[in-house]
Amino acid sequence: MTTPPPDPAADRGTRDRGARWGVAAAIGAAVAASACCTVPLLLVSLGVGGAWVGSLTAFEPYRPLFIAVAMGALGFVAWREWRASRLTGTDCDCEEDAVQPRTRRVILGVGALAAVLLLASPWLVRAASGPPASTVLSADAPLATARVTLAVEGMSCASCDVTVERALLSVDGVDAAEVSFEPPRAVVSFDPTRATVADLMEATAAAGYPTTPATDA
């Protein structure tokens, strides 16, 4: 019995599906890797808060695993593309291809770039935000401004202090906030007639970073 020759169209369809699934896996893992850092910052910046937002920081211990999965998926896609080009020996945009090779590689390149940007987003956010600003009160700040130093828990990446700062500044009555990653502290100036320390602690907890008044301030 003669074995039928392999169907080139079927091989191309399998390659296209493998590439799509590989890039999808890389982007999904990259989103999960940034869920503990960049996603809470985005939600806080949009005014979205709540216990479910704070629970996203639970992904932090698994961030190295998600990064490894994302990089592994991108490596798998790159290997398949290299292997396919070696086997076919051509990169022609043949009409019978399910997805033309050059078009497919552009799509894969965009997907890979999106995954890499998501993985690097905590450092990109930190770089874009610049160094923590000094606590400088505005000219119209109330004379009876209170000042408190909070110890921050759960900060583990480059953009965590930015998230905490945004959460504190979103509280009505807060005039300024200075957050440092090391030591994990937040120095907050606020109008005690409009906000309380409990309000500040509630805002940071909703962003996933519990705080308590620092005893060594």
In a domain, 207, yes or no: yes
In a domain, 2, yes or no: no
Q: Which domain holds residue 169?
A: 146-213
Which residue carries 């590989």 as its tokens? Answer: 22
Per-residue model confidence (pLDDT) at position 12 = 56
Q: Do 103 and 168 lie in a common domain?
A: no
CA distance 186 to 168: 9
Is the pLDDT assigned to residue 185 strictly greater than 90?
yes
Per-residue model confidence (pLDDT) at position 45 = 78
Q: Which residue has the higher pLDDT, 22 or 194?
A: 194
CA distance 159 to 200: 19
Give the end of a domain, one of 71, 99, 129: 129
Residue 159 belongs to domain with CATH number: 3.30.70.100
Give the end of a domain, one of 74, 101, 129: 129
pTM above threshold 0.85: no
Is the pLDDT assigned to residue 200 strictly greater than 80?
yes
Q: Which residue has the higher pLDDT, 63 or 10?
A: 63
Q: Do 160 and 68 lie in a common domain?
A: no
Q: Do 124 and 48 lie in a common domain?
A: yes
In a domain, 161, yes or no: yes
Q: Do 100 and 31 lie in a common domain?
A: yes
As a whole number, the mean pLDDT across the chain is 78
Q: Which run of H or of E encompasses 40?
A: helix 38-45
Q: Do 13 and 119 lie in a common domain?
A: yes
Q: Do 123 and 156 lie in a common domain?
A: no
Q: Do 47 and 80 lie in a common domain?
A: yes
Per-residue model confidence (pLDDT) at position 49 = 67
Residues of the chain with pLDDT > 90, as a percent, come to 20
User: Which region among 58-72, 93-107, 155-169, 182-196 has the lowest average model confidence (pLDDT)?
Assistant: 93-107
Q: Do 172 and 67 lie in a common domain?
A: no
Q: Do 123 and 153 lie in a common domain?
A: no
Per-residue model confidence (pLDDT) at position 59 = 81
Q: What mean pLDDT is predicted for residues 133-147?
A: 59
Q: How many structural domains is the chain composed of?
A: 2
Q: Which residue has the higher pLDDT, 212 or 138?
A: 212
